[in-house]
Structures are given as C-alpha cells and as structure tokens.
Structure 1
C-alpha cells in the first residue's frame, strides 16, 4: 500500500449459569495474578520526533522523496499528501513506517508550533483538521454521489492494486520488496518473513470478497471502475465539477499516478493499459502531478 466490540449482556435468567461457566480455574487465576493482562496505550512518538515550525506528514517514502516532497509510493499516504496540497496546507514530508505511527498506520501528521503537546493527527481525522485550518468545503456533503464512487476506489481498484503489487510474483520482487521489505531490515530471514506477511495479508483481504482469487476478474472490475470514473469526470478538470481539486480528486490520483508511474519498475501492468483507455483520467493525473 493503508482497520471489535464485545457482545451484549446475557439475560437475567442465564446470569447464574454464565457466572459458573466462566469461572477461571485456580491455577490459571494464580498465573494471571502474577502476570496480569495489560491493555497498552497507543505507541509513543519516537524521541527524534520533535516539535517543528512546519506541519510534518509522516508517510511511506524514501529519504530522497522526503527531501523533495515527491509523491508517496503508498496510495493511502499519497491520497492525504495530495489532499493537503490541493487545499493549500504547507507541510514537510518525513519518511516513516507503520511501527513508528502512534496508531499503527500511516499517514499521520504532527501540526506545527505553537503547540503545548505533540498531538498526532491520524489519517481519518485529517480532513476535519484541514477544514478547520483553511475552511475548505467538505465534499461528502456537497455531492451525494461521493460515497458511491468512492467505493469503486476502495474496492474494485484497490483489490486489483493489491493483486498487482503483492500477489504478482514479478511485481512483488521488482516493486513491493524494494519499497517495503528491503528498507525495513537487512536480515534475510526477517525479510522472508515480512514478504510472506505482506503477501498473505493481501491474499486474506481479497478472499474476504471471493472464494478464490482470479486476476482476470479483478482486472475486469478495475476496468469497469475506470470507465465509470471517466464518465463521471467527463470534460471537467476536476471531479464533481469543482473549480479546484478536492478529496475525491486526491483519492483517484493516489491510484492513477502510481499505476502510471513507470519509475516504480512495474514488470506487468495491465491496470495501466486499462487506465490509458480513458485519456481524461490520464490528463487528470498529469494536471494534479504539477502540484508536486
């Protein structure tokens, strides 16, 4: 790339049976008395994360990409990186990973000074924070079709992306391994384990929606999504006829840019072929790339 509550109480008639059934055996109780279960708080920020005079956005990128503010190679990170640029919020990029995030996921943002404490803003709160800073519009309330078309990105296009990046062996070795695995560790055993974890996570995600994984079906669904997005955009420069790009433009750009980015080193890229069948989506990507 880019997530349970307890069941309700039993009725009063079953309370006595439930209490006896769930009694902890004495040996187990003595063990937990010595080593009680602890709920740990969110990860603390590493000490190198110090207050800054600029907003800091922590994303998946490399050192060179961070220095030059280049697009992240992770769609979720790139979505918010682009959105903040589109609404006119200045920030610096910091290369990071999920383990360094207080929430366990990227991106997150540390607001600029003045601030009494370090209060990182996770991705699901970034739009609200941005609206408070620059008083921009909230697209979801402006167009009822927003959520419908967003589901095309979150499901059809994302699923095809997961397959192309993680489950196509040639692309995994050429792209995902280089971007996500090799920077994380030099230990070959750990690299092998991390590679397996990444691929298994992608496989598990895809199997939530199907009994088996079919690359042709995933590509076909993505092609249909591109066609629908192309129709939605039409001859406009931005989605939903906005005068300036917004969150939906950023969400689309996060995938179209990375799919069309030959510098990533794709070995197989059927998604790029499907995307190029819609020149207005390609032109949309090229226009937004000028923000970087």
Structure 2
C-alpha cells in the first residue's frame, strides 16, 4: 500500500554554548570528535513519482499484482473484481493499487480513496465496498440499472452460497490448485518458508470454516460443492437467456458485474487452474461465456 509521508521533519535542537550545563555531559574525546565531524541534518527524501501530492482520480485498493495494477488489469479476487468492474461500468475514473486486508480501514478489500487536488488537499475519507454503489450513483457518468429486489435476492443466493463455496474449495482447498493459491496470495507476502506455511494453513482453515458454516455440514464434500455450483450456474444461464444482460436490462448492472467476477476468473487463461471442474462447468453455458466476454470488452478492451 502506498504511504503518505509528512513534509515536516523534526528539527535538530539548537547547540548549547560551550561549558553550558546539560542533561548529559558529553565526554571530552567525543566532543573533540564531533567538532571535527559535525552532525548534519539532511533534507527529507522526495516522494516517489508514483505518489503525487494531488490525486486527480480516485484510487481503488484491491488484491492484484503490482505489474497488473500498473496496467489497470482485473483483480484476481472476486470481491475486488466485482467492484472494479462495476465502477468501470458506472463511468468512474480510477486507478488500482495493490493492497491487502491489513491495509484496509474496514479490514477487507476493496476500498476507494476519492480524488483530491492541490486546491483541496484535505485527507479524503476511505469508502468501503458497501458504500461504492452510492458513490457510483453520485459520481458516475453512466446510469447503471438496479435489478428488481425480489429477483436480485433470489439469484444472489446462488452467488453468495453455491458458487462462492465452490470457489473457496477450488482455490483454497483443492490440492491441484495449490500452486495457483501460492502464486496469488502466499508467495508475494514472504520469502520465508515458515511464514508461507503458516499463511497457507490460515487461508485453508478460514476457507474450510466458512464453507462448513455456510452449508451447515460437518465435513467438506467436493462433489456436493461442484454439483451445487453446476445448479447455480445453470439457473443463472436460464435467467440470462438470449439477452445480453441479466433481467432484460439494456445495460449491465451490479448483478452483471457480480456474475462476471466469478466467470471471468474461472475462464481467464492467465490463471493456471489445475483442478478445472468449475471452469468446465461455466463452459457448459455458452451464454454465460459470452456475457463474460462482453463485460471484459467494455471494461478492459484490448488490455487483456
């Protein structure tokens, strides 16, 4: 995470006159040494070029590699990608920065820092993800439709439970995908084998706990998770039908961005999925694949 540095630095205290009493008397040999080599206070280092004092665009902090952040590519985390895509669909101008949950004021990513300028240098209050829809409504240039509540609640359950649980299993618990999990969340954190082993255990334990709590079962069953995901993607495919966007909207909504956050990551060739069960499930529904491609083209065009 980028750190704002203060332009003020402590000043060195005024030198005392020779022979004046002080809190600590400097031994004569040291005093003679300092007279030959006086202590200097150097000016503060300048901020890096990528940390301008005035941010003319908003900054979205997400899980992403530093290289992909510089290119403005999609996040590899569904929760972050959902809002990254939604803000783009809303016409919000922003840049992305690599971050982690520990850097977030709310303890979770993503969060957004609104733009500031030299004329308004006051510190901007971070905006948590649950406030991003309101922010987009106020500052976006595109009118993103809102899905009907009764429909959205029904189909969001597929994303929040069946698909999310299968995603957690595939990435965090499926042994063939251990290399991908390490690449995304473990290797960038530390070179220490002990630290990496600890992080791996914590991530897997958290994922297993969340799955068990969500499903209310005593043990994780991968076959049941993938069956549930297949049913959920099938239901989403049915409601999308032959239309471009969910619920017959003329343009993509937050719900479209949420579906995209999973389908894109499962279809993204740059992610080396070894356990491809979820990827194969999504590919069974051509309209979901095409839906993903449409949003990818609108939001990222030729960058990906």
TM-score, normalisation: structure 1: 0.81
Aligned equivalents of 2:159, 2:246: Cα separation in 1: 14
1:258 to 261, 265, 268: 265
2:176 to 160, 170, 176: 170
Structure 2 portions without partners, runs of 5+: 6-50
Aligned equivalents of 2:191, 2:103: Cα separation in 1: 18
2:88 to 77, 85, 89: 85
- 1:87-236 equivalences under 5 Å are 87-114=90-117, 115=120, 116-134=122-140, 136-137=143-144, 139-140=146-147, 142-172=148-178, 174-208=179-213, 209=215, 210-236=217-243
The alignment covers a number of residue pairs equal to 247
- 1:36-75 equivalences under 5 Å are 46-47=3-4, 51-75=54-78
User: Contact 1:46/1:100 (CA < 8 Å) preserved in 2?
Assistant: no
Off by >3 Å, runs of 4+ in structure 1 = 48-51, 135-138
SS in 2 for 1:88: coil
User: Contact 1:58/1:95 (CA < 8 Å) preserved in 2?
Assistant: yes
**CA displacement at 1:273 relative to structure 2:** 1.0
Give the alignment's Cα RMSD to 1 decimal.
Answer: 1.7
Over alpha carbons, which structure has the higher Rg? 2
**What are the Cα deviations for residues 204-263 of structure 1, in whole angstroms up to 9, with x where unaligned?**
011112221100000000000011000010011011111111100000000000011121
| Structure 1 residues 207 and 51, CA gap change in structure 2 (3 angstroms) | farther
Aligned equivalents of 2:201, 2:171: Cα separation in 1: 13
Aligned equivalents of 2:172, 2:140: Cα separation in 1: 37
| Structure 1 residues 51 and 205, CA gap change in structure 2 (3 angstroms) | farther
**CA displacement at 1:134 relative to structure 2:** 2.8
User: 268-277 or 75-84, which moves further after superposition?
Assistant: 268-277
Aligned equivalents of 2:235, 2:75: Cα separation in 1: 26
SS in 2 for 1:186: coil
Aligned equivalents of 1:66, 1:45: Cα separation in 2: 13
**CA displacement at 1:47 relative to structure 2:** 2.6
**What are the Cα deviations for residues 46-83 of structure 1, in whole angstroms up to 9, with x where unaligned?**
43676511110110011111011111000000000000
User: Contact 2:144/2:252 (CA < 8 Å) preserved in 1?
Assistant: no
